[in-house]
A and B are shown apart, each in its own frame.
Chain A
Amino acid sequence: MAVIELQDVVKTFGATRALDHLDMSVVEGEVHGFLGPNGAGKSTAIRVLLGLLRTDSGTVRLLGGDPWRDAAPLHRRLAYVPGDVSLWPNLTGGEVIDVLARMRGGLDEARRSSLLERFELDPTKKARSYSKGNRQKVALVAALASRVDLYLFDEPTSGLDPLMEAEFQAAVRELREEGATVLLSSHILAEVEALADRVSIIRAGRVVQSGTLADLRHVTRTTVVAQTARPAAGIADLPGVHDLEVVDDRISMAVDSDQLEHVVAVLSGLGVRSLVAHPPTLEELFLRQYGEDVQV
């Protein structure tokens, strides 16, 4: 069942088209990575899902409801963490956590205190005196301490140190075990790689690619580095070979995944001395998606 369903959604701000016929869906119980370059429309999409922004056209369904019309009742079932958290400067961190979680409909006291411990957060400090990472942690604890069906995270770990980042990843895994759904927008690829079941990549307001990481890798290129006994003539003309570089007996190239078998066969005919092939790292994947127009 789809927990989030965006169909043909358009949102403009004056002349800027932030969402341009966006289609996307997140199914129940998955951790869905949401990726895209700066200004792609990730935050806008999340704010549409929160019912904070009204779309120009298209349909949006969230937890079976309309997030614009039924915002308040739907919010009982979700928790949200923005990427750049601003807190009320004269409230303590503990107060902010309670205010947000109780407004959401209550919080799990045991979970609250264990999260405070895990994230090493002092709840008696005034929000104005927190460091950036600690402000972020306040919002995270407020969200994680509520038991809800859906968690919307918009770059939730910006400013967290590596230990806290690991703590966050553990917490998200626990959420998934409990059956919750998570939409995680992030620029930290390792985080997405570690957590996400599926990812959607968005550019200029539209989803350019969506699927499991394995799927995504499949439609992209594998890097192949080989040393051959005989000169590698003719390789350049094979279908699906890109960025070929030949230095002495060493060749490196990027091969479309569906042509890999054929290319490897040709290579072995040349007498392979060494062969390294690795699927695209997420990084390569994104550089490709962010950087150029994509044909899926």
Chain B
Amino acid sequence: MTREMTGAKMIVQALRDQGVDTVFGYPGGAVLPIYDEIFLQNDIRHILVRHEQGAVHAAEGYARSTGKPGVVIVTSGPGATNAVTGLTDALLDSIPLVVLTGQVPTFMIGSDAFQEADTVGITRPCTKHNWLVKDTDKLSSTIHEGFHVATSGRPGPVLIDVPKDVQFATGTYQPPKPSASHYQPIVKGDMEEITELVAAIETAKRPVFYTGGGVINSGPAASQLLRELVEATGFPITSTLMGLGAYPASGKQWLGMLGMHGLYEANMAMHGCDLMINIGARFDDRITGRIDAFSPKSIKAHIDIDPSSINKVIKTDIPIVGDVAHVLEDILKVWKSRGRKVNHEAIAKWQGQVEEWRSVKCLTYATSETTIKPQYALERLEALTKDRNRYITTEVGQHQMWAAQFLGFEDPNRWMTSGGLGTMGYGTPASIGVQIAHPDALVINVAGEASWLMNMQEMGTATQYNLPVKQFILNNERLGMVRQWQELLHGERYSQSWSEALPDFVKLAEAFGAKGILCTDPKDLDDAIMEMLDYDGPVIFDCLVEKHENCFPMIPSGKAHNEMLLGQAETQGVIQSSGAVLV
């Protein structure tokens, strides 16, 4: 079935045919025809944000918590440039997005027209792919291709730039056609390599699963298969920041997060293992630390859908290009058919070693009766919310790391954080996107006060749509993560790392039509958290915490996994100048 219609109508029809129920956006001159069409229909809900960056992060939250692509509509020029941070964020964290931007009419492109920007030029390096559509007849097929590219292979953001005359002109609508695209990434792994990995699993003495965001990207089946494989082999498992929830935090084999602020047992297991099975993680520098000292004695297997992730940083012995769920299914099949073998004796000994590392209790912190320790605040938040239908977003900084350490995730798609780009200001709009997708769930943004201020305008969106998002701000009145680095690396010269002239968050909440709660005393904390949870509406929770707490464990830049700092006492002069150049 093909039909004649305007470009603007086509956009709405194409979104409908792609199963889109929600778009996040902000209008302007170059997208007015599209907004007209949005006005005239009821199938697709438009969420009006307060800033285009917010629209993109909200779409990211929506996408990560549902597994569906997030959709954004913004205007030309400043609308598009405001979206750039969100696009880059989604690219680094492999989040599928389809972003539609308005553009000046084709006959004015290149003339420095009002609100003209070279959007495809600006966003080429921060999208998986982008298109400028100059012909209305090609608009619908380009949008369908955009959804295909955003969601297949390694997911990522795509952008489609639509000049205003193309929106007004009439053309022929093409419905989605399966496999119209030449872009068809490989999903099945090579059976020879898979068999080699199975053989390594059968004989490994000190194996560890190192899992990442790719498990979440692959979908719920991947998490199920991962759980099956972990239970059946008895191997310990750790995950990156991006993969939390793929394996349950309550699981017996769970080591906790690894990496720069990862758990002692996780990093020690990575350092000492003889078989490392990387499933959908990308050997990020927060993980590897010093490359030449990274897990020196292990055979490394790497399952990744993107061939460029393999051997980018760490030399891989068993490379498997494919989708996590497909590959895990084949691994299980081959492993079972060969008799479900593991080296039980050695594994039992390895588990004993892991228990020894666990007994170090690396997350121990100095408690206080008088000030709220940020770790304590998160422990209480965890205790009071873990049995609820809960989704967590975060901002970026110490609070983000503490959230990863102290909150437990039992399922995938429950944890939304900006990992690769580390975008302060991500959490508030992301929490809004999550709440839109899951109206009845408890959605909490664990924030630092500095990050939170970066996109706080989105509280307006929360109140407009009556979204009961809980902004849980661990307020240390410092750019805490920066302050920590200055303390350890720059001789305690705290250059510009204070949050001065902070607003009164309770009054701010009220000004936005939300509820504000201030908590300063550990004794009041539980009641205050319950008050937040019981309130049916958006809340800003100002939790005044210890100002100079540092986040441990920490692997200083340029150090190896077994050179982790466990606490304040170990920090003297540990980071040398060679490490200081690293971020």
A, B from the same assembly: no
